[in-house]
Structure 1
Amino acid sequence: MAGMLDYTAGNTVLHRLNPLSKVALALGICVAAFLSDNFGFLLALLVLDVALGFVGGIRKKTLKLLAGLAGICAFLFVLQVLFIRSGTPVFLFATDEGLRTAGLVVLRLIDATMPLALVLALTPLNDLAGALVKRAHLPYKYAFTVTTALKFVPVFTDEMGAIMEAQTARGVEFDTRNPVRKLRLMLPLCAPLLITSVGKTEQAAMAAEVRGFYLRDRTSGVRDYPFRALDVGAFALVAALIALAVVL
């Protein structure tokens, strides 16, 4: 799922929302997913997640994210069915309670993960930091820390890929299907990745200090990030989703 956090430019309804409204919408969907144990409602949230991706013009990213989560959730589903033995046996080792719990875990995981990833794909991180400082009154150093951590995720992913390619050129076989063997091959790569990460972090800290990091405050940004009618609609949708989750 490389590249999921990269911003995709556009002029859709979701692109025009205030960054804080997008975050509130994503968090509202997450809260609603964990408040409800109604399968119909959780499936409706899943449809809403996919619809948000399509409306935002990132159809391929949305389907790719959904496919990646489906693979992870299939593994979690089997684990839940194996370890939950309470309830009435349905088929072989599966019980009705195990199937129900596994279904809830899988749907909640997908419903909670997708909107957060989609928000990051539809929001420039600089705008997110600016809105946090201007509207949420978050100190700039904390907003900078959050957005910088998100920026470094794809950087470290690319760095890990480069290290694996270098090791593959030296004869290391990372394409093995044995998960234990693959884990043993990847663990030694943590040391060079850590060393590279520390170097990049120090460079980023020096660059930020040279550009007057400690002098920035709420008045430093040029944009104001006002709330508009679309944002009111987003907050209303959040309230409606949470209310439905509680009722259902």
Structure 2
Amino acid sequence: MMNKLIFGRYIPGASFIHRMDPRAKLLGSFYFIAIIFLANNWQTYAVLAVFTLSAAALSKINLRFFIRGIRPLIWLILFTVALQMLFTQGGAVYFQWWIFSITEFGVINGLFIFCRFVLIIFMSTLLTLTTPPLALSDAIEYLLRPFKVIKVPVHEISLMLSIALRFVPTLMDETEKIMNAQRARGVDFGEGNLIQKMKAIIPLLIPLFVSSFNRAEDLATAMEARGYQGGEGRSKYRILDWQFGDTMVMLLFAALTAALIFIRS
């Protein structure tokens, strides 16, 4: 169901994770994705899992929201795991047919890939659930400031990302409304084979595109009416404030990196 997608949604709260500077959360998320490739055995993945679940617990957000973040990508994850299992050679052979074989190393690598996907999705979901889209946009703009030297339109890029994150849940809700209206007229989106299901989705696209373009035009008109002329010379209403806790979190990521290097095989 479209209304079960949580990408881009923000859940208000007063937890430590919610109060962190968005720059720290953004840096921490990207850094986590980088260091996860240091994990190469069960001990390192266990450390990463404990770290991720502890961060989720600190956010005081129900675990089911994080599980919802996995559902839209579950087939991609399973497909990638299957490829790893079928084409990675080494160790005992459990199954073999033609060019396909399932070996000990293939199963282990497949499970590691699955853990890696789940941990990355959990961390990225934690970022979006605890950070308002506007705060995330401000953090991206701040971190990209050095690229202004080479004439990169940093403010415009951050604005586009902010608008995209803001309207993903809106478009999902709009899709759900259109699907409910189609169901009321007798359309069954779960009926038939794959081709028939794809054909049933086509009537959704036209009203969704029309609604999206109308919404974009209304947004552009509202921005022009408020005198928006880009980022040059604009003051900031929201001031980012790096706290001592943000520094401690960065040090915790450094300690996590040292622990992974120490216990990896």
Taking structure 1 as the reference length, the TM-score comes to: 0.84
1:31-42 alignment runs, 5 A limit? 31-42=34-45
Asked if 2 retains the 8 angstrom alpha-carbon contact of 1:7 and 1:121, the reply is: yes
Moved more, 121-130 or 91-100: 91-100
CA distance in 2, matches of 1:217, 1:132: 16
CA distance in 1, matches of 2:134, 2:233: 14
What residue is the counterpart of 1:98 in the other structure? 106
* Pairwise CA distance, 1:166: 1.9
1:196-211 alignment runs, 5 A limit? 196-211=211-226
* Pairwise CA distance, 1:151: 0.8
* Pairwise CA distance, 1:160: 1.4
Q: Larger radius of gyration, structure 1 or 2?
A: 2
Change over 3 Å in CA distance of 1:235–1:177 after alignment to 2: farther
How many pairs were matched up? 248
Alignment counterpart, residue 76 of structure 1, candidates 75, 79, 82: 79
* Pairwise CA distance, 1:77: 6.2
Alignment counterpart, residue 14 of structure 1, candidates 9, 17, 30: 17
Asked if 2 retains the 8 angstrom alpha-carbon contact of 1:132 and 1:143, the reply is: yes
Task: Identify unmatched segments of 5+ residues in structure 1.
Answer: none
Task: Identify unmatched segments of 5+ residues in structure 2.
Answer: 149-153
Taking structure 2 as the reference length, the TM-score comes to: 0.79
What residue is the counterpart of 1:124 in the other structure? 132
Asked if 2 retains the 8 angstrom alpha-carbon contact of 1:42 and 1:107, the reply is: yes
Moved more, 111-120 or 54-63: 54-63
Change over 3 Å in CA distance of 1:124–1:74 after alignment to 2: closer
Asked if 1 retains the 8 angstrom alpha-carbon contact of 2:52 and 2:122, the reply is: yes
Task: Note the alpha carbon deviations across 1:201-238, whole angstroms, 9 max, x for none.
Answer: 22212222222321544751133212111111121122
Change over 3 Å in CA distance of 1:73–1:58 after alignment to 2: farther
* Pairwise CA distance, 1:21: 0.4
Alignment counterpart, residue 107 of structure 1, candidates 102, 111, 115: 115
Percent identity, aligned pairs only, is 24
* Pairwise CA distance, 1:198: 1.9
Task: Note the alpha carbon deviations across 1:60-105, whole angstroms, 9 max, x for none.
Answer: 4445336637944773366336642633322576322321221122
Question: Once superposed, what is the RMSD of the aligned Cα atoms?
Answer: 2.9
Change over 3 Å in CA distance of 1:95–1:65 after alignment to 2: same
